[in-house]
Amino acid sequence: MSDVLVYKFGGTSLDGADRIERALQLAQEATERGSGVVLVASAMGATTDTLHELATAGAGDAATIRRLIERHQAVARQLCSGAVLSACLAAIDAVGVELGEQVAALRPWRSPPAATTAAILSTGERLSTRVIAAAAAERGFAATLVDARQLIRTNGDHLEATVDRPATAQLLSAGARPSAGELVVMQGFLGATAEGTTTTLGRGGSDYTASLVGAALAATEVVIWTDVDAVMTCDPKVVPDARPLAQLSYRVAAELAYCGAAVLHPQTIGPAVEAGTPVRVRNPHLGSGPGTIIHAGGDHRGPAAIAFKQGITVVNVTSSRMLDNYGFLRRIFATFEAHRTSVDLVTTSEVSVSMTIDDESALPAIVADLEQIGTVTVEQRQAIVSMVGDGLLEADDVLANAATAINGTPVTLLSLGASDVNLSLVVPDAASNHTVRALHHALLDMQPQLKKETFR
């Protein structure tokens, strides 16, 4: 079997004829090297937002639909000609008519059934893939347009559908596998139930689609073409010296995603992680470099990045009854569960427990309940600052250098993840930027440059 690459392009990377042209150029470079390519496409630009407004406004907005259709047709005209163009324009018109009917059937001031909303939202990807497939045909390379609704099998939770993984893997393997040098074009974000009603995988779901395809086809790589050049050692807005990372392990990528760094959602890459498929984040612009590869291996030990998240609340519960007793932790966590609030960091001593939450909406009720268990104090406007890396403490002097760097900063809480991937501090929001810069300087600037790696 030939090698398969999955290329996922987000809305921004498909927004206009030039960008679609660039996406196809990248795909063609890969097919010319002999790879089979599956191009998983989002809707163009902010199309899904517009469709969402159409669905929720609950009234037939003919002008908006016309603009949407005309915009896709205008892009098609820039990219195609002759019979390819006429067929594409007709296909876009047909999707437009269908959309018009769906929107006309909506009732003002009443939210539509989820199945109707999903059908309306699916329009964006169905339109973008039509244009892309036609533009590929115009460039003269073998492209097959497949329908994700026949390949991604889901349950009936129409707007946030759960994928039937075994069924989907089989369908993809039989229906989306490109041969050597072939391009398959497919919608991200969409699926369908066994009965054939359209579903969506939740906003931003195209990355997940790409990961499903990559896993099912045992792809060499899933490339998420997006508007960031790479995953950075830190947010460059806070640390101007932040550097791009050539590689990351799945575990570190997952930690960074929680800590507010702009990488992929851990759930998104789940199928790729299970299948051991590398996922690369990369910018389609010419000259923007190889991006960051996220994979199972990674021989780099020690700190890789500093991430942070502001607007955190720390809840402390102290009780002398906790000493030599049992069941306290269960009661404390049951309180958070009852109020549907997720706890992120936890530290305990013999008589106290400290926890962080990022959602304060149930805080008063949580505090009232916890006061039945012990003395409760709350610290708001805090930030989690995380040092992240595989074998974080294996590199020399990490703890000592971190301690020196934060000397004088009031630390509310400190937590070392059991897996040695994440050492997190909680500091006041007001001190967080300074703390992040100091730690980046101490742990990442001073390090010898990471081994330079070259990729295809």
- Chain residues binding Mg ion by CB under 5 A are 342
Question: From ligand ASP, Mg ion, none, which one binds at residue 435 (CB under 5 to 8 Å depending on kind)?
Answer: none
Question: From ligand ASP, Mg ion, none, which one binds at residue 11 (CB under 5 to 8 Å depending on kind)?
Answer: ligand ASP
Cα gap 135→355, rounded to integer Å: 53
Of 385, 191, 229, residue with least CA distance to 307 = 385
Cα gap 265→253, rounded to integer Å: 9
For residues 250 and 294, the answer to whether their CB atoms sit within 8 Å is: yes
Residue nearest to Mg ion (CB): 342
Count of residues binding ligand ASP (CB under 6 A)? 12
Find the helix packing angle between 114-121 and 82-104, rounded to 10°: 160
Minimum gap (Å) between residue 411 Cβ and ligand ASP: 38
Which 16-45 residues touch ligand ASP, going by CB under 6 A? 42-43
> In the complex with ligand ASP, which residue's Cβ is closer, 151 or 373?
151
> In the complex with Mg ion, which residue's Cβ is closer, 215 or 385?
385
Buried b (16+ CB within 10 A) or exposed e, 23-62: bbebbbebbeeebbbbbbbbbbbebbebbbebbeeeebbe
Question: Using the rule CB under 6 A, is 11 a contact of ligand ASP?
Answer: yes
Question: From Mg ion, ligand ASP, none, which one binds at residue 77 (CB under 5 to 8 Å depending on kind)?
Answer: none
Name the β-bridge partners of 68.
none
Question: From ligand ASP, Mg ion, none, which one binds at residue 356 (CB under 5 to 8 Å depending on kind)?
Answer: none
Residue nearest to ligand ASP (CB): 206
Minimum gap (Å) between residue 225 Cβ and ligand ASP: 12
Binding mask 388-427 for ligand ASP (x = CB under 6 A): ----------------------------------------
* 3 state DSSP class of 432: helix
> In the complex with ligand ASP, which residue's Cβ is closer, 28 or 42?
42
> In the complex with ligand ASP, which residue's Cβ is closer, 189 or 250?
189
Question: From Mg ion, ligand ASP, none, which one binds at residue 179 (CB under 5 to 8 Å depending on kind)?
Answer: none
Question: Using the rule CB under 6 A, is 258 a contact of ligand ASP?
Answer: no
Cα gap 178→143, rounded to integer Å: 9
Question: From Mg ion, ligand ASP, none, which one binds at residue 31 (CB under 5 to 8 Å depending on kind)?
Answer: none
Cα gap 224→294, rounded to integer Å: 11
**Angle value at C-alpha 273, between 271 and 276, nearest 5 degrees:** 110
For residues 375 and 318, the answer to whether their CB atoms sit within 8 Å is: yes
Question: Using the rule CB under 6 A, is 341 a contact of ligand ASP?
Answer: no
Question: From ligand ASP, Mg ion, none, which one binds at residue 342 (CB under 5 to 8 Å depending on kind)?
Answer: Mg ion
DSSP 8-state symbol, 442: I
Which 40-99 residues touch ligand ASP, going by CB under 6 A? 42-43, 48
Name the β-bridge partners of 437.
none
Report in angstroms the alpha-carbon separations of 316 from 349, 376, 385.
11, 6, 19
For residues 156 and 217, the answer to whether their CB atoms sit within 8 Å is: no
> In the complex with ligand ASP, which residue's Cβ is closer, 189 or 328?
189
Which 168-227 residues touch ligand ASP, going by CB under 6 A? 188-189, 203-206
Report in angstroms the alpha-carbon separations of 347 from 150, 319, 415.
48, 15, 7
Question: Using the rule CB under 6 A, is 124 a contact of ligand ASP?
Answer: yes
> In the complex with ligand ASP, which residue's Cβ is closer, 201 or 406?
201
Applying CB under 6 A, the residues found at the interface with ligand ASP are 10-11, 42-43, 48, 124, 188-189, 203-206
